[in-house]
Amino acid sequence: MKFSYSLIKKFVPEIKSKQQLVEALTLHSFEAEEGPADTFEVNIPPNRFSDAASHWGIAKEAAAVLSLSLKFSISDFQSSRARNSKRPKNFKVSVEDKNSCPRYTAQYFENIKVKPSPSWMQKILKDCGLRPINNVVDIMNYVMLEIGQPLHAFDYDRLSNPSRMISNESQIHLNNIQDNSIKIKKIIVRRAKKGEKITTLEDKTYELNEDVLVIVDGFEKNLREKFAKDSRNVLAIAGLKGGKGPEVSNKTSRIIVESANFEPASIYKTSKALNLITDASLRFSHGLSPALAIIGLNRAAALLEEIAGVKRGEQFDSLIKPLPAKILKFNIFEFNRFIGLDLNERKAEKFLHRLGFKRLKGSEWQIPAWRLDIENHQDLAEEVIRLFGYNQLKSTPPLIYLSPSGFEDLIVLRDKIKKTLVGLGLDEIYNYSFISEKDLNLGHSWGKEVLELENPLSSQFKYLRPSLAAGLLKNIEENFRFFEEIKIFEIGKIFFKIDKNINEKNALGIVLFSKIKNKEPFFELKGVIKELFRQIGLADYIITEADKSDWLRDFTNGYLIPPTVLKIESNGKIIGYLGKVKNKNLKAETALAELIFDDLLRFVEEEYGYEPLPKYPAVIRDISFLVDYFQKIGEIMQSIKNVSSRLIDNVDFVDEFDVREKVGGKIKEDKTKTRSLTFRIVFQTPSRTLTKEEVDKEMKKIILMLRQKFKAEIR
């Protein structure tokens, strides 16, 4: 919010400079910043609009913070002059929705000469970003800047004349009613009717509904129903903006000034619904004290008299009883315990005094009516400590009960995954949590449905990511020009819906990409996953081919080559997948894996098992043979182990090649056994050294099995 430094200086003449003011406010009240020329900006917190969104308010703060005197008194403006004239002669006010309008004050003025306002006033308005219009309107705006209370002036003569609103037919009935009140102009505060319209001075028309509070002219409710169902003049949207028609013009000679208080939530909702924010709506929607209404009205009256030479008429005030005083107790012991300070009571009291709090009896304090933000002792403590100065506070180590501190289990697991993968040479990526429609069409989701945003920032960020795949594959596309090889991973939340239930899961995505000859990212990735499981202590898992019945194949269809998809299962549940990526743009093999690791937590074991170091030497034998192309390496290895599980320590896959001859670039299909495989078998027992004869015997058994089961041709 913009402020005029000269006006503050007028209220607190002892302030030395704008810089001094801005610094004092920033360190003790709220963020302030020097603006161009005579101005400065203050970031008024939402709970301080009632007392601080005005020059009077800022001057009060500055005076309190800098311990200077305030040369602006509102005591003359605080009392209502309406007590004796609840029913003024020239106009009537009826507040039909008292919840939405806790206070409505108004006053009649005549003898007005509309002309430009004095230049000093125009300058302050301009500095604060308002456009001068004429003396009446400018006084309304000036009082808002000065006191913080929005005001509105209606041209009295352009309010509907009740008799003119009545049709001829009704006129006859009306003559029978012996009530002068129908001849008096009347202001009504009520909810708008659905479809009612208002056109503002800028020629913008708003269609209203029952949620909107409006100011209308016309009859008392009972008469309105009888005679003029089309009560037509919506004078203003309460607390937001005045309408075209009763505005003050050069011809205006009599006015009614409105200074009201409106319920903040109602104004806020209307402002949001109509997408209309005004200086008045901003103040009302944050909440203003009803006490300000009469102060604003009286201040406006004084200025109208002084500047526009008007004659004051009668006042109206919907509030009959005076506002209740707000009283709170301040306890210095509680304060010191709360803040961690040893301030003496006198000093604390001085701070409260400076802020305009009045000490009653004992520890009771009366809170100024405009301080809507002060509700309890904690609020009083804030007032004292901010004037004392946060930066004067001494750092004090807390006295605490020691209790073991640590990371939540899932964080520990996630850190372990990150460290393992980085150790294996992978780089970590953070992508956005959102994906576009196009990304979504790639097809992957762990659940049936994705989650959509109601108010996406752009089409690029329309859905919550149901998988990390889209982001990671994009990373490869954007990076592959710069690198021979890319190994990346991301850990983050993914979101999807299954049977109306929203799932938010911790996922790990890995992508390996390589342009280097003879590198096989797919098998490297398989190795990365196995080593990862070993490092995090997950023993119970299997990696097998996903077949057509697995939902994985459908979901990953958009970006994986279906026959290459492997599923990763643990404890009977699919926890992840792995596959080769189909993407023509990349021109090199790319492999992708994704895992959901929330459920792994239950199955990972912290400790590695110890096995005694071998005492006796191992015997190593290599074996090569030819098999049909469809035979699976995984199955062959397992079968070898099974033959002699007692003596075999390990079976390693060494290599494979295609023995088919190429003739003129074409493969000759003349052999059935086209696949040559080599395995290394390690024989070892913990109890003794194995003899050559023993090993030969086992090898014979293995060869027999390979011949029988896999139709192998030993080379």
Partner 1 sequence: MNLEQIKQSAFKEIEESRDLKSLEGLRIKYLGRKSQLVEILHSLKDVPLNQRQKIGPVANVLKKELDELIKNRKAELREDEGSKKIDLSRPAQKISRGHFHPLTIAEEKICRIFLTMNFSVVEGPEIENEFYNFDALNIPPNHPARDLWNTLWLKTRTDADKTQIDADKTRTKADSVRENLGRNQRQSALLLRTHTSPMQIRYMETHQPPFQIIVPGRVFRYEATDASHEINFYQVEGLMVGSRVSLANFKFIIETFLKKFFGPNIKFRFRPSYFPFVEPGLEVDVWFKDKWLEVMGAGMVARKVFDAVRYNPDQVQGFAFGLGLDRLVKIKYNLPDIRLLYSGDLRFIKQF
For residue 143, which amino acid is it? V
Output 534 or 671, the one with its CB closest to partner 1.
Answer: 534
Output 156 or 463, the one with its CB closest to partner 1.
Answer: 463
CB of 297 to partner 1, least distance (A): 24
CB of 243 to partner 1, least distance (A): 24
Residues β-bridged to residue 368: none
Question: Is residue 516 close enough to count as binding partner 1 by CB under 8 A?
Answer: no
Question: Where do we find the tokens 């505005």?
Answer: 247
Output 121 or 355, the one with its CB closest to partner 1.
Answer: 355
Site mask for partner 1 (CB under 8 A), range 74-113, x = bound: -------------------------xx-------------
CB of 552 to partner 1, least distance (A): 24
Asked if 80 and 319 count as a contact pair (C-beta separation under 8 A), the reply is: yes
State which of residues 453, 498, 516, 542 lies at the interface with partner 1 (CB under 8 A). Answer: 453
Choices 79-87, 116-124, 258-266, 570-578 (CB under 8 A): range interacting with partner 1:
258-266
CB of 248 to partner 1, least distance (A): 29
CB of 43 to partner 1, least distance (A): 9
State which of residues 159, 304, 488, 604 lies at the interface with partner 1 (CB under 8 A). Answer: 488
Choices 290-298, 405-413, 576-584, 654-662 (CB under 8 A): range interacting with partner 1:
405-413
Question: Is residue 393 close enough to count as binding partner 1 by CB under 8 A?
Answer: yes
Residues numbered 420 to 439 that lie near partner 1 (CB under 8 A) are: 421-434
Q: How far apart are the first and last CA of the chain?
A: 88
* Long-range contacts of the stretch 534-538 (C-beta < 8 A, 24+): 535/416, 535/420, 536/413, 536/416, 536/417, 536/420, 536/600, 536/604, 537/604, 537/605, 537/606, 537/607, 537/608, 538/570, 538/600, 538/603, 538/604, 538/605
Answer left, alpha or beta for residue 389, where phi above 0 means left and psi between -120 and 50 means alpha.
left
Asked if 275 and 233 count as a contact pair (C-beta separation under 8 A), the reply is: no
Residues numbered 284 to 303 that lie near partner 1 (CB under 8 A) are: 285-286
Residues numbered 8 to 67 that lie near partner 1 (CB under 8 A) are: 26-31, 45-48
Copy the structure tokens of residue 456. 């996406």
For residue 466, which amino acid is it? P
CB of 454 to partner 1, least distance (A): 4
Per-residue burial over 104-137, b if 16 or more Cβ lie within 10 Å, else e, is bbbbbbeebebeebeeebbbbbebbebebbbbbb
Question: Is residue 395 close enough to count as binding partner 1 by CB under 8 A?
Answer: yes
CB of 395 to partner 1, least distance (A): 4
Residue among 223, 215, 216, 217 at smallest CA distance from 182: 223
SS3 label, residue 604: coil
# chain residues binding partner 1, by CB under 8 A = 93
Choices 323-331, 481-489, 616-624, 653-661 (CB under 8 A): range interacting with partner 1:
481-489
CB of 23 to partner 1, least distance (A): 11
Rg of the chain (C-alpha set): 41
Residues β-bridged to residue 311: 110
Residue among 35, 36, 32 at smallest CA distance from 61: 32
CB of 435 to partner 1, least distance (A): 12
Output 14 or 484, the one with its CB closest to partner 1.
Answer: 484
Cα separation, 659 vs 257, in Å, equals 101
Answer left, alpha or beta for residue 239, where phi above 0 means left and psi between -120 and 50 means alpha.
left
Question: Is residue 189 close enough to count as binding partner 1 by CB under 8 A?
Answer: no
Question: Is residue 482 close enough to count as binding partner 1 by CB under 8 A?
Answer: yes
Cα separation, 17 vs 155, in Å, equals 42
Output 443 or 492, the one with its CB closest to partner 1.
Answer: 492
Question: Is residue 202 close enough to count as binding partner 1 by CB under 8 A?
Answer: no
Output 229 or 500, the one with its CB closest to partner 1.
Answer: 500
Copy the structure tokens of residue 544. 């097998």
CB of 592 to partner 1, least distance (A): 15
Cα separation, 235 vs 368, in Å, equals 33
Question: Is residue 400 close enough to count as binding partner 1 by CB under 8 A?
Answer: yes
Question: Is residue 484 close enough to count as binding partner 1 by CB under 8 A?
Answer: no
Output 397 or 609, the one with its CB closest to partner 1.
Answer: 397
Cα separation, 562 vs 209, in Å, equals 57
Question: Is residue 418 close enough to count as binding partner 1 by CB under 8 A?
Answer: yes
Question: Is residue 344 close enough to count as binding partner 1 by CB under 8 A?
Answer: no
Asked if 590 and 476 count as a contact pair (C-beta separation under 8 A), the reply is: yes
Cα separation, 452 vs 438, in Å, equals 14
Residues in the chain: 715
- Cα torsion 5, 8, 14, 15 to 10°: value is -40
Residues numbered 596 to 615 that lie near partner 1 (CB under 8 A) are: none
State which of residues 415, 540, 605, 622 lies at the interface with partner 1 (CB under 8 A). Answer: 415
Question: Is residue 504 close enough to count as binding partner 1 by CB under 8 A?
Answer: yes
Question: Is residue 381 close enough to count as binding partner 1 by CB under 8 A?
Answer: yes
- Which DSSP symbol is given to 689? P
Cα separation, 5 vs 3, in Å, equals 6
Choices 109-117, 138-146, 447-455, 700-708 (CB under 8 A): range interacting with partner 1:
447-455
State which of residues 347, 493, 632, 671 lies at the interface with partner 1 (CB under 8 A). Answer: 493
Cα separation, 530 vs 537, in Å, equals 10
State which of residues 323, 360, 411, 618 lies at the interface with partner 1 (CB under 8 A). Answer: 411
Output 244 or 515, the one with its CB closest to partner 1.
Answer: 515
Choices 158-166, 265-273, 598-606, 698-706 (CB under 8 A): range interacting with partner 1:
265-273
Choices 440-448, 455-463, 556-564, 668-676 (CB under 8 A): range interacting with partner 1:
455-463
- Which residue intervals of 236-344 are DSSP H helices? 264-274, 279-286, 291-303, 332-339
Question: Is residue 659 close enough to count as binding partner 1 by CB under 8 A?
Answer: no
Backbone angles phi, psi at 276, to 5 degrees: -135, 115
Question: Is residue 452 close enough to count as binding partner 1 by CB under 8 A?
Answer: yes
Cα separation, 572 vs 715, in Å, equals 40
Question: Is residue 527 close enough to count as binding partner 1 by CB under 8 A?
Answer: no
CB of 292 to partner 1, least distance (A): 17
Cα separation, 21 vs 33, in Å, equals 9
The tally of CA atoms less than 13 A away on the side-chain side of residue 577 is 27
Output 135 or 271, the one with its CB closest to partner 1.
Answer: 271
Asked if 578 and 568 count as a contact pair (C-beta separation under 8 A), the reply is: yes
State which of residues 184, 339, 588, 690 lies at the interface with partner 1 (CB under 8 A). Answer: 339
CB of 336 to partner 1, least distance (A): 9
Asked if 262 and 251 count as a contact pair (C-beta separation under 8 A), the reply is: no
Choices 148-156, 197-205, 399-407, 604-612 (CB under 8 A): range interacting with partner 1:
399-407
Question: Is residue 266 close enough to count as binding partner 1 by CB under 8 A?
Answer: yes
Residue among 29, 243, 51 at smallest CA distance from 40: 29
Please report, for residues 42, 49, 175, 361, the alpha-carbon distance to residue 57 in angstroms, rounded to integers and kept in the order given. 12, 9, 52, 27
- Which DSSP symbol is given to 154? E
Output 39 or 100, the one with its CB closest to partner 1.
Answer: 100
State which of residues 320, 399, 613, 663 lies at the interface with partner 1 (CB under 8 A). Answer: 399
Residues numbered 461 to 480 that lie near partner 1 (CB under 8 A) are: 461, 464, 471, 474-475, 478-479
Output 84 or 405, the one with its CB closest to partner 1.
Answer: 405
Output 338 or 551, the one with its CB closest to partner 1.
Answer: 338
